[in-house]
Amino acid sequence: MIKIKNLHAGIEGKQILNGIDLDIRPGEVHAIMGPNGSGKSTLASVLAGREDYEVTKGSVEFLGRDLLELKPEERAGEGLFLAFQYPVEIPGLSTINFIKTAVNEVRKYKGQEPLDAVAFLKLMNEKMALMNMDKTLLSRSLNEGFSGGEKKRNEIFQMAMLQPKLAILDETDSGLDIDAIRIVANGVNKLKSSDNAILVVTHYQRLLDYIVPDFVHVLYNGRIVKSGSKELALELEEKGYDFIKNENPTINEPAWTR
């Protein structure tokens, strides 16, 4: 699905990613963990195509296309979705209008006819039931005045509506209490299939109790320094990120490859 090779990237001349290698196949759930400043969110932003970041080296292939050549909206059209750590507010723009625009823009990109009101409503009701989404939220301005939990649930609802191939969840658990985490994670799990893949970016292990990863990667100083199964996450939780440093004083071991 996505093949990241030796990816180097930075912002305003500051190098943050120092050679990421990662290969995700359909049906897999990957987790990227790491301490603050290790480059987790940068990786998510670079993959989504945020302009501020500059890719200096390496390549990313997404469903056979060169991802880095595509504009952010084209990446979305190809099926890449980013659930934001801090979803933005757009006053006066209703959530439902925003989602309808997004769904139809993605359809347009794929050469499909836009959904008419009836078809859209049907899809929406279906996904709302799936997500346990409150209808009143959708008529409110996008994310304006939403609680932390509502914002994140809205992200996952959009994911359900857009049905991406690869969903990147950037710190989706940050700022949520345990109940909210459970709700959001349940939503994600319902969307999981053998056709799509999920990349969970998180600082803490707790989200991974609910969204169980097939692979866990530890990001440190802009490189993946250790990869393993879900047990690695538990080990990290127990020992803290320092153990990575202690284990690899040089942090030079070859990056994880399949």
| Minimum distance, C-beta of residue 64 to another protein, in the bound complex (Å) | 19
Find the binder of another protein among 61, 96, 98, 137 (CB under 8 A): 98
The reply on whether position 117 binds another protein by CB under 8 A is no
Selected from 34, 39, 49, 213, the binder of another protein by CB under 8 A is 49
Among positions 126-155, residues that touch another protein (CB under 8 A) are 141-142
Amino acid sitting at position 236: L
Residue 12 interacting with another protein (CB under 8 A): yes
- Only one residue has tokens 């809205």, namely 154
112 contributes a contact to another protein by CB under 8 A: no
Total of chain residues touching another protein, rule CB under 8 A: 34
Site stretch for another protein (CB under 8 A), options 73-81, 128-136, 198-206, 224-232:
73-81
Phi then psi for residue 80, to 5 deg, are -100, 130
**Identity of the residue, 128 or 234, whose beta carbon is nearer to another protein in the bound complex:** 128
Residues 192-221 within binding reach of another protein (CB under 8 A) = none
As a whole number of angstroms, the distance between CA 215 and CA 206 comes to: 15
User: What type of residue is 122?
Assistant: K
Closest distance to another protein from the beta carbon of 26 (Å): 21
39 touches another protein (CB under 8 A): no
Q: Does 10 bind another protein (CB under 8 A)?
A: no
Picking from 220, 211, 210, 230, the residue whose alpha carbon sits closest to that of residue 253 is 220
Rounded least distance, CB 102 to another protein, Å: 4
157, burial (CB in 10 Å: exposed 0-12, middle 13-18, buried 19+)? buried
Q: Write out the binding residues for another protein, residues 159-198 only, by CB under 8 A.
A: 162
Unique residue bearing structure tokens 């359809």: 107
What distances in angstroms separate CA 128 from CA 6, 21, 53, 122, one per listed residue? 40, 36, 34, 10
In the list 63, 68, 90, 130, the residue contacting another protein (rule: CB under 8 A) is 90
Phi/psi for 10 (5° steps) reads -155, 180
Tokens linked to 120: 């859209």
Single out the residue of 29, 32, 34, 84 in contact with another protein (rule: CB under 8 A).
84
Of the ranges 49-57, 123-131, 178-186, 217-225, which one interacts with another protein (CB under 8 A)? 49-57
The long-range contacts involving 83-86, CB below 8 angstroms and separated by at least 24 positions, are 83/152, 83/155, 83/156, 83/158, 83/159, 83/167, 83/168, 83/169, 83/170, 83/172, 84/155, 84/170, 85/41, 85/44, 85/170, 85/171, 85/172, 85/174
Contact set with another protein (CB under 8 A): 12, 48-52, 71-73, 75-77, 81-82, 84, 86-88, 90-93, 97-99, 101-102, 105-106, 109, 141-142, 158, 162
